[in-house]
Structure 1
């Protein structure tokens, strides 16, 4: 049984502590020099992706001990529980069955003894019919013109996942529709979107499980008012507004026809909702067949995660490597570095996926952890980062493991652009591994024409320690299938880490307090009195808001 007792009490943890002492000062450059087969030994393929994890501070014994830790923590059983619909989200007493949304097998998946697969498949069929009507101009706006723009109104998982997939699959947009994502509760954001649109040719999709999320409902209400103030009527709302929500009553009260409301289930967390009808904007852009290919890619990774032995299991390997650095090297961050313009939104999506899932300090048993859990996730796209934050990666006082993510072929082959892009990706991971010694720096400077005396002064500035770990994930091209498997890979990696750490990766109570306090602060900002029980700093900021508002 997983999660029994403290992680630090299992034998493998003790063995890993000693092993870390034994190898922590060894350099990966020496390991590669001694073992020409290191790449072959430390890489794995799954669902159209290949992971090279040879540039990590591990040897065969490290891997063996990490796998023993996974066994002693009951990871295989925890994975089975996830797929079988056990209530792994204990604090909310729910299963976490986002995998059911992309289940192409004949397996039944039960929630409260009811097979949910017929409803899941019926929803995809409804999405198909909806997309067909919009994309074929069978469903038009109030003046009978076809839709030109779709505005997705959501936040968090109903925004980040679909936005990532939409940008990742831009080469597959074939409908002529412009897709816009509205999330932030910021007048500037909504203004910049709406000022480019014609209400008669704009379709809005309100995406909120509760139909009560503050930011989403506020933005939806503003869009509704804009629509009515610019030519639309109350009778036209049902032609221009649809919803994805579990709260049918609130959605219909808003003016959305019940037949245009797509379901959302409590066994799907927001950050996993891309695969549901929350992916409707994406399906409108790329078509339902490509959307199904996205689901098939995720399903292929699901099956790999569910059935592959731990030693060959890509999400498990990545989870164990992350644990190795967080818990034994004291690392507190992890960089996501996609070398593909279309994958530029991946770091933002993975920030939510990882940090909302495993940013926890209480175990499933209700105990305070005595070890670190989820790292800070950050990153950026392509060579842009090399001229910005890569300096810290190479010479900073902290090291941050990196995931380099690169398609080997481009959708837009121009000259030798893609070869240059891939060369930068590979050379960055090589530089993190290899580094540059002071002697190498001195010899390089003298070879460039500098005197030995000058070289001795400058060389320390050019020393790069190397021995900084990275993974390289590569695949032929960013297709719906590979993008689906890539996103699912990280979902399972994060879940596996949560299982190992013994935390609930499927709740997010930490976001609730800010919401609760936000309502009180909003009342103070909109009123004239300051609450006595609000802290002095917040009260000072509220007074500053009042003063500056009055000055405008």
Structure 2
């Protein structure tokens, strides 16, 4: 048996031992549990105390970290060394906020100055009076900027930013409603500048603005891409092209010119603050010991439940309307990064990889899916996010109730309600069974002091490093996404009229849809 197998066996044993004691009882047997499994950094408190991460499990994961050369791979990430082995390149998104090798950091700084200059040209009227920006992208080219724009105050020069991602032209048509074609800036974001959905939406958007009577519409086109030559070949003015590094993956790209539209909506200082918050989390991730390292502890929790216990999903609920897009962002970040079947050397995994990530907004979700979380037959580790300072001026009672609901859900999932307690309330056995909750259901809570550009940047960087840590523990490459390509390849073939060896069901559906 290899040493890594022995460590996984040790982890299995440690988790089995942790599961043998009721979660609620752990606070009695370990009075300092909340302090031990709490981490405070960058204006955020992370609470992992309502999980099964007891001292034995954390210690076993530290053993796995040694065997998986976690420190080495973390250093590769943070110094810009080659870490994406299938594509033979580094992953340099941390260089965008100042952590990496000197060349990458300098290149990122230069690119940000170019972005700032273009931002200034828009603000100063070089494109005319702009009152709407249409941002066109998909995947990482829209989820990150969309999250920033939705979460933070719009105090920039063009607060009206509309985002189009879906190739369904209904989305584009809605985005164009009410636009003045001579006062609209189009920002197209595509790493390759070949992404089918993005390129089709861009061309349709430009054509629609021209049909609406716009003049010199294409002079107000900005391209953000790692392939600036392709953008220039399309006809984009070179001074309106923002390049970013090929080594920055799409789902890690909001730190680059990809967020030009977000900066225009929020203001340049806010964008710089997002980067500063992420840099603070980078320092924490690099320096904190694993037992007090928020991203590493988050990954231990995720891996413990998915690979040791068999939980197939993880739920994320933001008890703040401003973070309503976070579950969508995390769904791509985590499942595209770690939804893999082989390790970085091509060997089949023997443990489950990324759980299914899903979620919603509290308190809406309480009236939809929490029945399943409390009494269903699936074990779903749950994460709650909340903000101490309210994001509105409508009085304190709204926020008090919001926070009370958030904290109560985690407490109730853990504590449950016994049959005897239910009998006291119900009066008969059948009703008591319906009102019995087994409890012991794990949750973590992330509590931000306030939601501003710095804490949001730190929060997103936390999730990036948590995702990396999960992959590093499993020995997988979190920075490729080969699984994204297969369906796109088949779609291109079908759209081109080549049905080849397509199955009978798909041929029938194409016929019924009228596209074959």
Q: TM-score range by the shorter chain?
A: over 0.9
Match of residue 29 from structure 1: 24
Match of residue 134 from structure 2: 151
Q: Structure 1 residue 537 and structure 2 residue 505: aligned?
A: yes
Match of residue 230 from structure 2: 250
User: Quick one: distance in 1 between partners of 2:227 and 2:484?
Assistant: 21
Cα separation, partners in 2 of 1:16 and 1:531, compared to 1, 3 Å? closer
User: Quick one: distance in 2 between partners of 1:262 and 1:361?
Assistant: 35
User: Quick one: distance in 1 between partners of 2:188 and 2:127?
Assistant: 18
Larger Rg: 1 or 2? 1
- Tell me how far 1:255 sits from its aligned partner: 2.9
* Deviation per residue, 1:289-314 (Å, 9 max, x gap): 11000000000101111111111111
Q: SS state of the match for residue 131, structure 1? A: helix
Which range moved further: 194-203 or 59-68?
A: 59-68
* Deviation per residue, 1:295-354 (Å, 9 max, x gap): 000001011111111111110011111111111111111111111101000000000000
Match of residue 527 from structure 1: none
Q: 2:377 aligns with which of 376, 397, 401?
A: 397
- Tell me how far 1:33 sits from its aligned partner: 3.4
Match of residue 449 from structure 1: none
Q: 1:75 aligns with which of 36, 45, 70?
A: 70
User: Quick one: distance in 1 between partners of 2:15 and 2:192?
Assistant: 47
Q: Is the 8 A contact 1:47 1:482 kept in 2?
A: yes
What pairs with 1:232-381 in structure 2 (closer than 5 Å)?
A: 232-233=214-215, 235-238=216-219, 240-381=220-361
Q: Structure 1 residue 430 and structure 2 residue 411: aligned?
A: yes
Cα separation, partners in 2 of 1:365 and 1:253, compared to 1, 3 Å? closer
- Tell me how far 1:80 sits from its aligned partner: 0.7
Q: 1:467 aligns with which of 421, 433, 440?
A: 440
User: Quick one: distance in 2 between partners of 1:344 and 1:374?
Assistant: 22
CA RMSD across the alignment:
1.7
Q: 1:501 aligns with which of 474, 485, 502?
A: 474
Q: Work out the number of aligned pairs and report it.
A: 515
User: Quick one: distance in 2 between partners of 1:488 and 1:252?
Assistant: 32
Q: Structure 1 residue 421 and structure 2 residue 402: aligned?
A: yes
Match of residue 179 from structure 1: 161
Q: Structure 1 residue 59 and structure 2 residue 54: aligned?
A: yes
User: Quick one: distance in 2 between partners of 1:328 and 1:257?
Assistant: 54
Match of residue 117 from structure 2: 129
Q: SS state of the match for residue 370, structure 1? A: coil
- Tell me how far 1:25 sits from its aligned partner: 3.2
5+ unaligned residues in a row in structure 1: which ranges? 446-451, 525-529
Match of residue 448 from structure 1: none
Match of residue 140 from structure 1: 127
Q: 2:452 aligns with which of 455, 476, 479?
A: 479
Match of residue 20 from structure 1: 15
- Tell me how far 1:236 sits from its aligned partner: 4.4
Cα separation, partners in 2 of 1:117 and 1:42, compared to 1, 3 Å? closer
Which range moved further: 434-443 or 65-74?
A: 65-74
* Deviation per residue, 1:127-148 (Å, 9 max, x gap): 2222223234x2233xxxx111
* Deviation per residue, 1:90-135 (Å, 9 max, x gap): 00001001000011x7xx615xxxx133321122122222222323
Q: Is the 8 A contact 2:382 2:442 kept in 1?
A: yes
5+ unaligned residues in a row in structure 2: which ranges? none
Q: Is the 8 A contact 1:316 1:493 kept in 2?
A: yes
Q: SS state of the match for residue 155, structure 1? A: coil
- Tell me how far 1:498 sits from its aligned partner: 0.4
Match of residue 4 from structure 2: 9
Q: Is the 8 A contact 1:57 1:467 kept in 2?
A: no
Q: SS state of the match for residue 39, structure 2? A: strand
User: Quick one: distance in 1 between partners of 2:425 and 2:233?
Assistant: 72
Q: Structure 1 residue 198 and structure 2 residue 171: aligned?
A: no
User: Quick one: distance in 1 between partners of 2:14 and 2:231?
Assistant: 57
Q: SS state of the match for residue 274, structure 1? A: coil
Q: Is the 8 A contact 2:4 2:64 kept in 1?
A: no
Q: SS state of the match for residue 254, structure 2? A: helix
TM-score (norm 1): 0.90
Cα separation, partners in 2 of 1:179 and 1:274, compared to 1, 3 Å? same
Cα separation, partners in 2 of 1:176 and 1:212, compared to 1, 3 Å? closer
Q: 2:89 aligns with which of 89, 94, 101?
A: 94
Q: 1:167 aligns with which of 137, 150, 153?
A: 150
